[in-house]
Amino acid sequence: MSTPQLSRVRVTRIAEEAVERARLRVVPRTRVRAPKVPFVMLVSAILLAGVVGLLLFNTTMQQNSFAAADLQTHADELRSEQQALQAEIDGLNEPHHVAEEATRLGMLMPVCPRFLYTATNKVTQACDEPATKLPIDAPAQARPESLIPERTVVKVKPKQTTKQADTPKAGATETTRVGSHGVSSTN
Amino acid sequence: MNTRPVSQFRLRFGFLLIAIVLSFYGARLVQLQAVDPANYAGKAHLEGEEKVVLPASRGEIEDRNGVALAASMDGLMVIADPYLTSPKAPALAKLLADRLGIDYFTTLAKLRKTTGDGSRYQILAHRIPATKVRDALAYAKDQGFVGLSTERDPIRAYPLKDVGANIVGFIGQDDKVGPLAGMERTFSQQLAGTDGMARYQAVKGKQIPLADASITEPRDGKPLRLTIDSDAQAFTQWTLAQAVRNWKAASGVAIVMDSHTGELLAYADYPTFDANDPQATSKDYYGSKGVQEPYEPGSVEKVLTLSSVMDSGHATPETRLTLPDVLVRDNWPIHDHGRQGTVKLTLAGVLSRSSNIGTTLSAETMDSADIRDYLTKFGLGQSTNVGLRGESPGIVPAAPWTDITRATIAYGQGITVTPLQMIAAVNTIANGGVRVSPSLIEGSATTNTGAKVGTSEATATRVVSADTASKMARMMETVLDPEEGTAPLARIPGYRVAGKTGTAQVNENGRYLDNLNENSFVGFAPADNPRFTVYVVLRHVNGGAGGLTAGPAFKRIMSYMLRKYGIPPTDTTATPYETTWGGSGTGNLHP
C-alpha cells in the first residue's frame, strides 16, 4: 500500500533570493589544535616559581628566625648591661655614699633649719648648736652566733703547795671550748 | 633460546613471603594511624620541642619618689663540668676568682672534682650579674678554657643596703623557701608575678619557623610603692643609731609621720642589717620592732589621758590641782619624779612637768570604761594594719580597773603599746582631733593573707574635738619650755614645737627594774600648723629620761624634715597656759 505523496508546490515569494541567502546553514566543524608546549611551559614555570618561591620563603623565614634569636640574645645582653649600669648609678646615689663623699669634702650638717626671706632679707632665728658631721659612722652590727669564732679557754689550777695561789701548776691545765656568749667568755 | 621453567612452588612461596612482610608493614601502619595516632604524633613532636621558661619580672619595691629599695637584675649561676675543666683547673680557678670575685680554693676543688656525685656538674657561683658572667666566660673561651656553662639565676638587689631593710626585708638564697622577711615576704604573691612558657620546635636552639609554637606570656609582678622617703629614712636611721649608741640602749625606733595623711615618711629600727648580706647580722634584727615589740609607753600616755579628761568636760588647761607629795592607791604609793612636798599646778602644769599624781587625780574624774573607750578610739589595743609582719596589738586591760590600775594606765604603765600605735595616737592631736590610720604603702596592696592595706584603705576617725586638740597642742608646747618643761633639748629655735617626754620603767617578769628605762619623745611641728609628727623611742636605757636621751634625736630628725620639705617657721607667738597657781584652796578639779 502506498502513501499518497504530497506534492510540494514551489511558490515564488517576494525577495526569495535574499531569503535564500540569509538562511542559516550548518557549517562544517573546523578543529584548531592549540600548541601544547606553551601551556606545559607555563604550568611548569608556575610550578617552578612556586617551588622556588616557597624555598626562598622558607629560607628567609629560617634566616629571620636565626636573626631573631641573635637579636633576642643581644637584647638580653643589653638589658643586663643596662641593669648593671643602673646598679652602678644606684650605688653612687646611695645615701651612705653621698654622705661619705660630702663628709670627705668637709661638708657639715646644720642641726636646725634656717630660712632667708629674699623679699625682706630677714633670716630666721639662729640655731643653738653648731653644725655637725653627718652621723654616718653607725656602730658595728651585732653578729650572728655562726660568725663568732669559738674561744679556747684555758683554766689554770693553782698550785696547792705554795702560798702563791695565782701561780699556775705545770701541766695542770684544763681546756674547754665555749662560745663567746658563754660564762667563761673573754670577749 | 634456552628458557628455564619457573617453579610454581617457589613463585607462590615468594609471593607469600612478600605478603607476610607487607602485612606486618600494613599492621604497623594501622597501629600508627588508627590505634593511637595522637600519642605517636606527640612523641614525634617532643623530639624537637624546646621549652623555655619566660621569667616574670619581680615587682620593685620603691620609695615615694620612685627610688628603688628592692630591684631585680638578670643573674646567672656558673656551672663547671669537672671532667673538662680539671686539666687546666688552677689557671681557670684563678681567672674565675679574679673576674667573678669567688674564692679561689673552693673553685679549684670544684673544678677538680672528677669523681663521685657532681663529677659532671659543679655550681661554682650563684647569682652573679649576667654581664659580669658573660664577660668572664667569653674571656675564658678566648683563653681556650672549656667546660663552663650558665643557668638563669635572677638577683634581687637592695641598692640602699640597710636603708629601710627592716621594712623591705629580703629574699633568701633558696628559691624554694621563698622570701624570708619583711614586705618581700608579706607581699610575695603580688610582687612575684607568674612565669610564662614558650614551646616551639627547634634545631640547635633556633626556632623552626612555621612549625608549631605556643607562648604563654609571663605576668610581671606588681611593684610596691612605699610612703617612705629614702633620704629621710637614711637620716633617721643614722640619727637613731647614734642615739642608741650614745645612751647604750638595747634598741631603738624612730618614726616620722605626715601629720595630715598619716603616711610614714621614715620608719627606722635599730639594730638593723644590710639586706644584701643579711647573714652578717643576727636574725633577731630582721623584723620591725616598731610594731612587733610592745612596751609600756610611760608619760607620753599622759597626752591621751588628759585629752580624754578635757574632751569629756571634766577639766580645762586652767583647772587647778593641789598635788600632794605622795598619793596612795590600793596601798601603792605614787610619786612624781624629782618633786617633794605639795605643789599647786594647773592641768597644763601637770603635763609640762609630767606629774604622775596630777594625771592620776585628773583621770579619777572619769569612769575607767570611759577612759578605755577613749584609748581605744586613739587606736591603742588594736593593730594598725600597716602591712608589717607580726604586728602586735598591745594590751589595754579590760575595764573596770582598780584604782591603782587606772592610775598607772593614766601615766603610761600597766598598758603596752607599739611605737606605731603611739605616734598615730598623738598625731590625732596634731591633726585637730581626727585620728588618721598610719600608712606605709601608697595606693592599695594585698598581703599574702588577703588583707588590703595602703593609703587607699586609710581611715579617719574623730577622737576628740578640735578645741580639745588645739588646747592640748598649746599645753604640749610648754613641755619644751626651758623653765617649765621636761624637754628643752628638743626645742628648735624659731619654730613652735609641741611634744611630750616618756620615761617608763621596764617590766621584766612582773617586776619593774631599777635604772632601766624606756625613754621616748614624741612631738609635732610647727605646733600651730603641724606638718610632721616624730616619735623616738630608746629601749632599755640605763637611766636617763626621755627629754634628755630621745629629745635631741627628735630635734635633729624634725629639723631635717622641716629643712628638706622647706617648711618655714609660722611666725606666730606661742601663748602658753599658766602652769602653776597661787592663793588659797585646793583647786577646782571635781570628780
CB pairs under 8 A between A and B: 132
Of B148, B150, B136, B151, nearest in space to B84 by CA: B148
Tell me whether residues A114 and B68 touch, CB distance under 8 A: no
| CB contact residues (below 8 A), chain B span 311-370, against chain A | none
d(CA B245, CA A135): 11
Query: CA angle B519-B525-B529, nearest 5°?
Result: 145
Give the pLDDT of residue A161: 45
Calculate mean pLDDT across residues A36-41: 90
Q: Rounded to an integer, what is the distance from CA B510 to the centroid of its chain? A: 30
- Residue B182: the pLDDT is 87
Which CATH code for domain B75-153? Answer: 3.30.70.2110
> How far is it, in rounded angstroms, from Cα B263 to Cα B204?
55
* pLDDT at residue A70, rounded to an integer: 87
A14-18, A88-92, B399-403, B580-584 — which is least confidently predicted?
A: A14-18
Q: Do A90 and B283 touch (CB under 8 A)?
A: no
On chain B, the residues whose CB falls within 8 A of the CB of A110 are: 559, 563
pLDDT tens-place string over residues B461-477: 999 999 999 999 999 99
Q: What pLDDT does residue A176 have?
A: 35
Q: What is the per-residue pLDDT across B82-109, written as a single tens digit (0 to 9) for each?
A: 999 999 999 999 999 999 989 999 999 9
A160: number of Cβ within 10 Å:
8
- Look at residue A146 in the predicted model and tell me its pLDDT: 58
pLDDT at A153: 64
Assigned C-alpha cell, A68: 631573631
**Is A55 within a domain?**
yes
Q: Mean pLDDT, to the nearest integer, of B103-132? A: 88
In the predicted model, what is the mean pLDDT of residues B22-46? 84
Q: What's the confidence (pLDDT) of residue B326? A: 93
Nearest CA-CA distance, residue B9 and chain A, Å = 49
The predicted model gives B30-34 an average pLDDT of 84
Confidence of residue A184 (pLDDT cuts 50, 70, 90): very low
Whether B210 sits inside 8 A of A58 (CB atoms) is yes
Asked whether the beta carbons of residue A141 and residue B568 sit closer than 8 angstroms, the reply is: no
Strand, helix or coil for residue A179: coil
Which of A84, A126, A141 minimises the CB distance to B281? Answer: A141
Contacts of B279 in chain A (CB under 8 A): 144, 146
Residue of B nearest to A78 (CA): B131
Could you give the CA distance from residue B148 to residue B285 in angstroms, rounded to a whole number?
39
B positions 146-165 inside 8 Å of A (CB)? 157, 159-161, 163
pLDDT band at A141 (very low <50, low <70, confident <90, very high): low
Domain coverage including residue A62? 37-93
Residue B131 grid cell: 654581664
Tell me the pLDDT tens digit for each residue of B280-318: 888 888 888 878 889 999 999 999 999 999 999 999 999
Task: Give the residue, B367 or B205, on which the prediction is more confident.
Answer: B367
Tally Cβ neighbours within 10 Å of residue A58: 13
pLDDT above 50 (res A2): no
Long-range contacts of A178-184 (CB under 8 A, 24+ apart): A178/A150, A178/A151, A178/A153, A179/A145, A179/A148, A179/A150, A179/A151, A180/A148, A180/A149, A180/A150, A180/A151, A181/A145, A181/A148, A184/A153, A184/A155
Q: Is B241 within 8 Å of A139 when comparing Cβ atoms? A: yes
Best probe of the B interface among A90, A112, A123, A145, by most B CBs < 10 A, is: A112
Burial class (CB in 10 A: 0-12, 13-18, 19+), A123: exposed
Q: Closest Cα to residue B501, out of B297, B365, B364, B304?
A: B297
A104 within some domain = no
Residue of A nearest to B270 (CA): A141
pLDDT at A63 over 70: yes
Per-residue confidence band for B74, with pLDDT thresholds at 50, 70 and 90: confident
Task: Give CA–CA dist B513/B49, Å, rounded.
Answer: 71
Distance CA B286, CA B540 (A): 19
- C-alpha of B428 from chain center: 23
| Residue A150 confidence (pLDDT) | 58
Tell me the H-state helices in chain A: 16-22, 36-93, 95-104
Which band of pLDDT confidence, cut at 50, 70 and 90, is reported for residue A183?
very low
The pLDDT of residue B232: 96
Q: Least CB-CB distance to A94: which of B160, B238, B559?
A: B160
Treating both helix axes as pointing N-terminal to C-terminal, what angle do A36-93 and A95-104 enclose, rounded to 10 degrees? 50
Percent of chain B scoring above 90 in pLDDT: 62
pLDDT-derived band at A142 (thresholds 50, 70, 90) equals: low
B80: Cβ–Cβ under 8 A, 6 or more apart, which residues?
B110, B111, B122, B124, B147, B148, B149
The whole-angstrom separation of Cα B517 and Cα B298 is 9
Name the residue among B315, B312, B313 with its Cα closest to residue B377.
Answer: B312
The C-alpha atoms of residue B354 and residue A167 are separated, in whole angstroms, by 58
Whether the bond between B526 and the residue before it is cis, its omega within 30 degrees of 0, is yes
Residue B144 has pLDDT above 80, yes or no: yes
Q: B272, A65: Cβ pair inside 8 Å? A: no
Closest CA to B163 of B229, B242, B219: B229
Cα B258 from Cα B264, distance rounded (Å): 6
pLDDT tens-digit readout, B536-573: 999 999 878 888 999 999 999 999 999 999 999 988 88
Asked if residue A43 is part of any domain, the answer here is yes
Q: What is the pLDDT of residues B375-430, one digit of tens each?
A: 999 999 999 989 898 889 999 999 899 999 999 999 999 999 999 999 999 999 99
Q: What is the pLDDT of residues B146-204, one digit of tens each?
A: 999 998 888 888 988 889 999 999 887 666 666 678 899 999 888 988 888 888 877 76
Q: Tell me, yes or no, whether A56 lies in a domain.
A: yes
Domain tally, chain A: 1
Q: Cβ distance A176 to A153 under 8 Å?
A: yes
For residue B208, the chain A residues in CB contact (below 8 A) are: 62, 65
How many Å lie between the alpha carbon of B454 and the closest alpha carbon of chain A?
Answer: 26
CATH number corresponding to B230-564:
3.40.710.10
Q: What is the pLDDT of residue A173?
A: 37
Please check the confidence at residue A84 and state whether its pLDDT lies above 60: yes
Mutant choice from B50, B73, B180 vs A, greatest count of A C-beta within 10 A: B73
Distance CA B227, CA A63 (A): 50
pLDDT at B109: 92
Output the pLDDT for position B49: 80
Residue B254: phi, psi to the nearest 5?
-135, 130
Of residues A51 and B193, more confidence is placed in A51
Which residues in chain A have their CB less than 8 angstroms from residue B232's CB? none
Domain residue extents for chain B: 49-72+161-224, 75-153, 230-564
| Secondary structure in 3-state letters for B546-587 | HHHHHHHHHHHHHHHHHHHCCCCCCCCCCCCCCCECCCCCCE
Orientation angle between helical segments B130-142 and A36-93, nearest 10 degrees: 110
DSSP A83-114: HHHHHHHHHHH-HHHHHHHHHHTT--B-SS--
Closest CA to B428 of B460, B453, B457: B460
Residues 6+ apart with CB under 8 A from B218: B54, B55, B56, B57, B193, B194, B195, B196
Of A64, A110, A125, the CB nearest to B494: A125
Q: What integer pLDDT is reported at residue A177 of this predicted model?
A: 34
pLDDT for residue B331 is more than 80 = yes
**What CATH code is assigned to B49-72+161-224?**
3.90.1310.10
Chain B 104-143, residues with CB within 8 Å of chain A CB atoms: 129-132, 134
* Option in B74, B207, B241 nearest A138 (CB): B241
Task: Give pLDDT, residue B2.
Answer: 55
Mutation target to probe the A interface, by most A beta carbons within 10 A, among B238, B496, B558, B565 is B238
Q: How confident is the model at residue A151 (pLDDT cuts 50, 70, 90)?
A: low
pLDDT at site B23: 94
Strands B251-258 and B532-541: antiparallel
Q: What angle do CA B180, B184, B186 make, to 5 degrees?
A: 90
Tell me if A111 and B555 make a contact (CB, 8 A cut-off).
yes
